[in-house]
């Protein structure tokens, strides 16, 4: 295979189109040493199809798009290939908007010990740079439609760090296998690795076993101490489609139109000159091409009109721009992205602008993604909490915690402050709910604890001040009474 063939194979649109990644199933309820090779072989057949599509999507996101294969039949020397990387724009916006603020964990109950443990869990996640790992995970999810995360026990034994180690995996080299029965329970997680000789092998994790399989043979087998599969898949939607995957034909059309527009301009500049019924002497056209001179022509045949003109036809840029605008509006609407060129009106309120320019649609799409993210996040938390319980003293249960997305915590800050004040002044509302639902804080759990500590400190100061004032007043009263008695 030549280099050009490789580039063409990577860049071309898949034969059957793109309709999301396939979820990998097996009829086996348990993966055991007896059937792991068979189950893995069937799973790899599906995963290789997914991997080819994910490689195409990842290359498209990086700028290796289909416009590079543009072929021009007429005047092939003028063949501009303009690539406007809208796919990158979509992924960056989606990830940044979804994770505008870091994901924080808040306690479901009002007990102080649970709140303290949740705060410790947030510190563990901060020590593992989970915010950065979430960003990597969101990028993969929006590019490929599915992302993978791994959680293992921290073998380094960091005294001040988390007892769990968190990794973001390349979804082209990691996947999960699910049982095809009711509930579709996960039965295995697979990670592709390369040994020291450069040969690939597969790490297979189940609830009971860890296998290493190479060339259809089990090369390593161990019993697992953690009864959970350490690989967790995060999906963008149930179809496992990437953020820009549904609009790739539109993006290709925009690239083609922009390339043809540039071709049209270059064709116009380099138009053909026609000398009708006349001839130029040798070297005269070269001199003419330099410009700044006049020529004298005469008809080759008497009685025939001699003239010089240029064959030039230019694309109608106004009509073309109308098509481009229509395509851009289409991909923005399909992807649920705001239109930054939506126009303006001096009478529009802030909320009207949000609805008119598509920011409400962006928020709705982000909330929709939150639901699938939270499902995987709870599976991730189940792993982390088990490791924390077994290796430390963090006695949290999954039901004690709720993931909290913190987006746009600085918008409408005055309104949020008023909501917080009203809720805190309501004796029937727990103060923690006010911090959690006002939307004012990116980490409501930490803000609540810090505020309560400050409030209690102020109360103690006030009590000390009152005691001191009472003591001074009492001493003055006693002193005055003694003075009167001495006078008597």
pTM of the full structure: 0.78
The domain locations on the chain are: 3-75+101-245, 272-311, 411-478
List, for residues 226-252, the tens digit of each pLDDT value: 999 999 999 999 999 999 999 999 999
- The answer on pLDDT for 273 being more than 80 is no
What is the pLDDT at residue 289?
62
Q: Which pLDDT band, with edges at 50, 70 and 90, does 291 fall under?
A: low
The 3-state secondary structure of the chain, one letter per residue: CCHHHHHHHHHCCCCCCCCCCCCCEECCCCCCCCCHHHHHHHHHHHHHHHHHHHHHHHHHHHCCCHHHHCCCCCCCCCCCCCCCCHHHHHHHHHHHHHCCCCCEEEECCCCHHHHHHHHHHHHHHHHCCHHHHHHHHHHHHHHHCEEEEEEEECCCCCCCCCCEEEEEECCCCEEEEEECCCCCCEEEEEEEEECCCCCEEEEEECCCEEEEEECCEEEEEEECCCCCCCEEEEECCCCCCCCCHHHHHHHHHHHHHHHHHHHHHHHHHCCEEEEECECCCCCHHHHHHCCCCCCCCCECCCCCCCEEEEECCCCCHHHHHHHHHHHHHHHHHHHCCCCCCCCCCCCCCHHHHHHHCCHHHHHHHHHHHHHHHHHHHHHHHHHHHHHHHHHCCCCCCHHHEEEECCCCCCCCHHHHHHHHHHHHCCCCCCHHHHHHHCCCCCCHHHHHHHHHHHHHHHHHHHHHHHHHHHHHHHHHHHHHHHHHHHHC
Q: Per-residue confidence at 483, pLDDT binned at 50, 70, 90?
A: low
What confidence score (pLDDT) does residue 4 get?
41
- Predicted confidence (pLDDT) per residue in 93-138, tens digit: 999 999 987 888 888 765 778 888 888 899 999 989 999 999 999 9
Question: Are the C-beta atoms of 43 and 24 separated by less than 8 Å?
Answer: yes
The average pLDDT across 9-34 equals: 82
Residues facing 276 on adjacent strands: 307
Highest mean predicted confidence (pLDDT) among 95-109, 299-313, 363-377: 363-377
């Amino acid at each position: 295979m030549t280099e050009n063939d490789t580039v063409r194979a990577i860049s071309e649109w898949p034969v059957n189109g793109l309709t999301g990644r396939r979820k990998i199933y097996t009829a086996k309820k348990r993966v055991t040493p007896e059937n792991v090779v068979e189950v893995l072989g069937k799973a790899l057949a599906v995963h290789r199809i997914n991997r080819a599509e994910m490689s195409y999507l990842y290359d498209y996101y990086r700028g290796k798009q289909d416009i590079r294969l543009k072929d021009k039949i007429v005047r092939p020397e003028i063949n501009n290939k303009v690539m406007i990387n809208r796919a990158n724009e979509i992924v960056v916006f989606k990830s940044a908007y979804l994770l505008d603020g870091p994901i924080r964990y808040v306690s479901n109950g009002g007990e102080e010990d649970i709140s303290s443990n949740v705060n410790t869990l947030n510190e563990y996640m901060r020590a593992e740079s989970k915010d950065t790992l979430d960003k990597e995970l969101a990028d993969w999810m929006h590019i490929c439609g599915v992302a993978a995360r791994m959680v293992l026990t921290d073998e380094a034994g960091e005294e001040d760090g988390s007892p769990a180690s968190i990794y973001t995996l390349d979804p082209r080299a990691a996947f999960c296998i699910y049982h095809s029965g009711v509930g579709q329970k996960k039965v295995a997680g697979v990670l592709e690795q390369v040994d020291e000789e450069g040969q690939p092998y597969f790490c297979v994790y189940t609830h009971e076993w860890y296998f290493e399989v190479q060339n259809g043979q089990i090369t390593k087998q161990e019993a697992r101490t953690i009864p959970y599969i350490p690989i967790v898949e995060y999906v963008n939607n149930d179809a496992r489609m990437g953020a820009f995957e549904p609009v790739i034909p539109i993006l290709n059309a925009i690239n083609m139109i922009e390339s043809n527009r540039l071709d049209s301009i270059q064709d116009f500049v380099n138009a053909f000159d026609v000398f009708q019924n006349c001839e130029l002497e040798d070297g005269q056209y070269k001199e003419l091409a330099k410009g700044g001179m006049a020529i004298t022509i005469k008809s080759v045949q008497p009685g025939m009109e001699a003239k010089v003109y240029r064959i030039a036809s230019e694309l109608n840029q106004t009509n073309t721009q109308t098509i481009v605008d229509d395509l851009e509006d289409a991909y923005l609407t399909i992807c649920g992205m705001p239109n930054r060129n939506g126009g303006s009106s001096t009478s529009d309120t802030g909320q009207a602008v949000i609805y008119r320019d598509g920011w409400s649609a962006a928020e709705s799409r982000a909330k929709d993604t939150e639901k699938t993210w939270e499902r995987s996040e709870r599976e991730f938390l189940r792993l982390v909490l088990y490791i924390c319980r077994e290796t430390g003293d963090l006695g949290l249960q999954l039901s004690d915690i709720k993931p909290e997305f913190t987006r746009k915590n600085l918008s409408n800050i005055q309104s949020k402050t008023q909501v917080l004040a009203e809720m805190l002044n309501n004796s029937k509302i727990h103060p923690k709910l006010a911090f959690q639902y006002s939307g004012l804080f990116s980490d409501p759990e930490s803000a609540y604890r810090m505020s309560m500590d400050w409030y209690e400190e102020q109360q103690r100061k006030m009590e000390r001040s009152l005691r001191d004032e009472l003591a001074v007043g009492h001493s003055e009263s006693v002193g005055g009474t003694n003075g009167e008695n001495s006078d008597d």
